[in-house]
Amino acid sequence: MHVLFVHQNFPAQFGHIASYLVRNHGFECTFVSERPPGNEGGIRRLQYKLHGGATKSTHYCSRSFENFIWHSHGVYETMKANPDVRPDLIVGHSGFGSTLFLADLYQCPIVNYFEYYYRSTQSDMDFRKEFPTTELDRLRVRGRNAMLLSDLENCDAGYSPTRWQRSLFPATYRDKIETIFDGIDTTLWKPRREGETLETLGGQTLPKGKKIVTYVSRGFESMRGFDIFMKIAKRIYQDRSDVHFVCVGSDRVCYGGDNRHIQASSFREHVLSQDSYDLSRFLFTGMLPTRDLAMLLAHSDLHIYLTVPFVLSWSLMDSLASGCTVLASATPPVQEMIEPGVNGLLADFYDVDSFVRQAHEVLNDPASYRSLGQRGVEMVERDYSLTQVLPRMLGLYDRVIKRGRPSP
């Protein structure tokens, strides 16, 4: 069996699946992306290149679709130039649109990963009223969804990582989409061992005798509530001297239009300029190697996670798998994973008072809240670990392959 994976990046959502298929089932796996070619763990990597894309003269609302077509064509040309690759199944990440033209190159079925269907209201776009979107941003939603609708029509089956994310897609296509999470490696993301300590992180020394509060986000931005987190953190450290905040992430905006609303060079700098913060109480690590981040989360006394209604961050699931006491925003993607008082704690996204009150309760006696972390570990192991998820994924592949691709 030969599976062709398609994604702009490697390994992204598919690297661990490809490794599992090669290692455990003897599959042949090819991965086409924008990354340099090579061979990794038995996975053959091919590189596609873009030869064009949207420009300033391209209508703002169709730029995403224009780029989608260029990515799709780049993948098509690369695969056409490698006729020895004859897949039995194609798996791609929709939204990047890269599988679209492959239906004209191969007769095999296509499975697409559907992560998010855009909406202009009751969504990430209008949740944060203090950072309003423009009229063109709202109109652009339809152009962005055109990519997804093309892939929904073109593929034989799809899947989304959470029930909430699946629910955003049009009812007409929803029966075509299963809910299968990406999978958490619980051999990496796991609670700390008895007697294990953490003294340095990324070459920096952590203060001794302090409780650790963690915040993790690929970018420090409004969609992941960085500004709200800093308000919470300030209130906490003003009341107590026994806590240190470790913030993992980069000074960039990955989602949304924060840069339109600020004068500073980054959203983090903007937030820090809005108030007086004692930065000696914080450690900003930048992006950490995966194993260092796993070690940090395993030693966290409290993990704070905020998000608007948007794609669920892997960091939330990683922190649950690590046994963290998680205090998170009561927004739809989070509420699917956390039941307050059972495997974590929730507060309204904007309710700084509630976040601070619950944070103090945890930090006053972290040991008494570790049962929440233990139930988080159990939930991940039961429902979201690689050992549970990968067989489900393989089952989807098997069903699609057996059905075959219908005649045009």
Q: What is the dihedral of CA 269, 272, 275, 278, to 10 degrees?
A: -150
More confident residue, 197 or 152: 152
Q: Report the alpha-carbon distance of residue 309 to residue 332 in Å, rounded.
A: 6
Specify if 360 maps to a domain: yes
- Whether residue 249 sits in one domain with residue 169: no
Contact (Cβ atoms closer than 8 angstroms) between residue 151 and residue 115:
no
Q: What is the dihedral of CA 200, 202, 207, 213, to 10 degrees?
A: -110
Count structural domains, the chain. Answer: 2
- Whether residue 396 sits in one domain with residue 282: no
- Whether residue 129 sits in one domain with residue 39: yes
> What pLDDT shows up at residue 408?
64
* Mean pLDDT, residues 214-222 taken together: 97
> What pLDDT shows up at residue 196?
85
Q: Report the alpha-carbon distance of residue 259 to residue 267 in Å, rounded.
A: 7
* Mean pLDDT, residues 341-348 taken together: 98
- Whether residue 63 sits in one domain with residue 155: yes
- Whether residue 260 sits in one domain with residue 392: no
> What pLDDT shows up at residue 133?
93
> What pLDDT shows up at residue 404?
83
> What pLDDT shows up at residue 203?
83
Q: Is the peptide bond before 11 cis (omega within 30 degrees of 0)?
A: yes
**Which pTM value belongs to this model?**
0.95
- Whether residue 268 sits in one domain with residue 177: no
Of 69, 12, 67, which is closest to residue 45 (Cα–Cα)? 12
- Whether residue 362 sits in one domain with residue 398: no
- Whether residue 394 sits in one domain with residue 369: no
Specify if 261 maps to a domain: yes
Per-residue pLDDT tens over the stretch 357-375: 999 999 999 999 999 999 9
Tell me what the pLDDT averaged over the chain comes to: 95
Specify if 34 maps to a domain: yes
Of 350, 358, 265, 352, which is closest to residue 303 (Cα–Cα)? 358
> What pLDDT shows up at residue 197?
87
Specify if 192 maps to a domain: no
- Whether residue 328 sits in one domain with residue 240: yes
Domain span at residue 144 reads 2-183+385-403
CATH code assigned at 277 = 3.40.50.2000
Specify if 193 maps to a domain: no
- Phi, psi (degrees; rounded to nearest 5) at 83: -65, -15
- Whether residue 133 sits in one domain with residue 271: no
* Mean pLDDT, residues 304-322 taken together: 98
Percent of the chain with pLDDT over 90: 93
Specify if 194 maps to a domain: no
- Whether residue 146 sits in one domain with residue 219: no
Specify if 48 maps to a domain: yes
Q: Which two tokens stand for residue 209?
A: 């005798």
Per-residue pLDDT tens over the stretch 162-208: 999 999 999 999 999 999 999 999 999 999 988 788 988 888 889 99
Specify if 189 maps to a domain: no
> What pLDDT shows up at residue 28?
97
Task: Spell out the residues 6+ positions from residue 256 whose beta carbon is closer than 8 angstroms to its own.
Answer: 124, 131, 221, 222, 223
Per-residue pLDDT tens over the stretch 26-74: 999 999 999 999 999 999 999 999 999 999 999 999 999 999 999 999 9
- Whether residue 63 sits in one domain with residue 40: yes
> What pLDDT shows up at residue 193?
86
**pLDDT surpasses 80 at 407:** no
Quickly list H helices, 244-369: 267-273, 290-298, 314-321, 332-335, 352-364
